[in-house]
């Protein structure tokens, strides 16, 4: 049986790549499972998509925002009706367990509902003028054509974070999903068209970053770029946007910390660290890859964490008994294994995992054992660099000041967490941690769509996904003055 072929979506129609080339999309839990063939597009395909978006912008920007929002409401309804089908499709494509892919689809539903609501709340301000007979107000304007470049770990949620606020603000867009997980984004784009999105407003082009991504970055018709991925690539995106002063939103790496105090509820803390460290096989920018534990409970906590991590059932995410799925590809598996060897060479004590899993039918996929290092020094590479896999470093500390110092010592600043019953300690940590997200008695993952999402330092460049904060990236402010005095008034001079 031949594999289905998925085309680009340009100007509301399916289009093959101009080169005629395709690439395979395979199940990371079973490499023999071919999901489909996707277009291996090139720069000219990207330029055609931008042309369609530019043409559509002229009319879409003038559609009243509440009317744009109605399309998002309809899309939310369709997503809800097909949630289970889309979740199963995503598990087969990306590997994470069904419970998580259902959450991924739900996040797209939530974002559609939230941003649809913003269609009636694209508020500006009215303010008194300093002069008589003069009226002042502000309004939001769309930016123009947006290039959206998304990763593979949340293949529907993250595209929804970018697409939906862009559309409700009146922009048009071209999205390039990751080549490892194009189908989930393709389905989202198709559903938005089914909900009534006009042709050309949203276009999808699949292919590699050097071919499609670079073409989008360099196209002068693109006025905004939103990128989620590694800090290394994000730096190149920023440099490419700078000469033309394009709006540039970057959501990049993380090396997140959980701080556990002596008075913490250890059962709750272990639950949080297992979920934060091994959920999505550790392939989250918010993964809890560092756990710093106060000396009084260090050994007790470590024993419980190792027991729980070692007992996790690893396998195909479509199996209801599976608790952790595969890594996304062979390259990522090799990266994780290389960091495990680095940790051992640095002198950290490997207490759990540290190997590829192949027996019992797992050889057909990219499975790696949940891995825990103990007695990790904060200066070790495994405690400072993003691994993006199921590897957790446990670090002992003396007091809260040292825990905060360790937490802030890395180049990233996305998410942090503290487990304690001491409200004073919780508020001190909340204040002192220089991260974009902070949790008390919860793991470093679990963001909600109505709050801003993003980080500091090498995690981001000051913009945020989600919530009303996202609107500030996808719109421009215009200040308007209406003088009805029928005479010249010179602001501060008069």
- Residues assigned a catalytic role: 251, 285
Alpha-carbon 406 to chain mean position? 25
Residue 407's Cβ-side half-sphere holds a number of Cα atoms within 13 Å equal to 31
DSSP label of 324: B
Distance CA 203, CA 128 (A): 42
Angstrom distances, CA of residue 358 to CA of 326, 330, 366, 369, 425: 11, 13, 9, 10, 44
Report the 10 Å Cβ neighbour count for 227.
29
Alpha helices (runs of H) in 21-153, residue ranges in sequence order:
43-60, 65-81, 83-94, 98-118
- E strand or H helix at 266: helix 266-278
Distance CA 291, CA 256 (A): 9
Report the 10 Å Cβ neighbour count for 136.
16
Evaluate whether 49 touches 219 at the Cβ level (below 8 Å): no
DSSP label of 492: G
Report the 10 Å Cβ neighbour count for 95.
33
Distance CA 115, CA 121 (A): 9
Q: Of 200, 111, 127, nearest to 471 (Cα)?
A: 111
Distance CA 409, CA 72 (A): 41
| 447 Cβ contact list (under 8 Å, min separation 6) | 286, 437, 453, 466
Strand partners, 25: 36
Distance CA 252, CA 228 (A): 6
CA angle 460, 28, 372 (to 5 degrees): 65
The phi-psi region of residue 282 (left if phi > 0; otherwise alpha if psi is between -120 and 50; otherwise beta) is: left
Distance CA 150, CA 84 (A): 22
The tokens describing 366, both together, are: 């990219």
Evaluate whether 62 touches 34 at the Cβ level (below 8 Å): no
DSSP label of 212: I
Q: Of 302, 331, 59, nearest to 197 (Cα)?
A: 59
């Amino acid at each position: 049986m031949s594999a289905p072929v998925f085309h680009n979506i340009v100007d509301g129609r399916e289009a093959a790549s101009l080169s005629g080339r395709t690439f395979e999309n395979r199940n990371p839990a079973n490499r023999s499972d071919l999901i489909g063939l996707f277009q291996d597009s090139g720069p000219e395909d990207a330029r055609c998509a931008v042309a369609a978006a530019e043409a559509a912008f002229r009319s879409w920007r003038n559609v009243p925002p509440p009317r744009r929002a109605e399309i998002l409401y309809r899309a939310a309804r369709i997503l809800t009706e097909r949630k289970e089908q889309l979740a199963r499709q995503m598990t087969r494509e990306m590997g994470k367990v069904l419970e998580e892919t259902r959450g991924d689809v739900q996040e797209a539903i939530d974002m559609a509902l939230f941003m649809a609501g913003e269609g009636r709340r694209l508020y500006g301000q009215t303010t008194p003028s300093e002069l008589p007979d003069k009226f002042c107000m502000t309004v939001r304007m769309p930016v123009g054509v947006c290039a959206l470049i998304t990763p593979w770990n949340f293949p529907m949620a993250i595209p929804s974070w970018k697409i939906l606020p862009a559309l409700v603000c009146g922009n048009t867009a071209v999205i390039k999903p990751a080549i490892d997980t194009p189908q989930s984004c393709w389905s989202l784009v198709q559903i938005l068209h089914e909900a009534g999105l006009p042709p050309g407003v949203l276009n999808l082009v699949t292919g590699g970053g050097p071919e499609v991504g670079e073409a989008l970055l360099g196209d002068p018709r693109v006025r905004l770029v939103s990128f989620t991925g590694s800090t290394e690539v994000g730096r190149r995106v920023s440099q490419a946007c700078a000469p033309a002063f394009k709006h540039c939103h970057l959501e990049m790496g993380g090396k997140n910390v959980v701080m556990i105090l002596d008075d913490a509820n250890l059962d709750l803390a272990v639950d949080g660290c297992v979920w934060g460290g091994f959920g999505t096989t550790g392939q989250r920018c918010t993964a809890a890859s560092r756990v710093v534990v106060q000396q009084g409970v260090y050994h007790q906590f470590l024993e419980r964490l190792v027991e729980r991590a070692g007992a996790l059932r690893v396998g195909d995410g479509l199996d209801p008994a599976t608790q952790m799925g595969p890594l996304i590809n062979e390259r990522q598996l090799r990266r994780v294994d290389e960091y495990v060897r680095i940790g051992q060479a640095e002198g950290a004590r490997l207490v759990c995992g540290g190997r590829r899993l192949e027996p019992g039918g797992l050889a057909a996929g990219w499975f790696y054992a949940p891995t825990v290092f103990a007695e990790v020094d904060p200066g070790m590479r495994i405690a400072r660099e993003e691994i993006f896999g199921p590897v957790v470093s446990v670090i002992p500390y003396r007091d809260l000041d040292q825990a905060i110092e360790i937490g802030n010592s890395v180049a990233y600043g996305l998410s942090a967490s503290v487990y304690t019953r001491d409200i004073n300690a919780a508020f001190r940590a909340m204040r002192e941690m220089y991260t974009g997200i902070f949790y008390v008695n919860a793991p470093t993952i679990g963001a909600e769509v109505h709050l801003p999402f993003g980080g500091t330092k090498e995690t981001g460049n000051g913009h945020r996904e989600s919530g009303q904060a996202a609107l500030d990236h996808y719109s421009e402010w215009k200040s308007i003055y209406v003088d009805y005095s029928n005479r010249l008034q010179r602001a501060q001079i008069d």
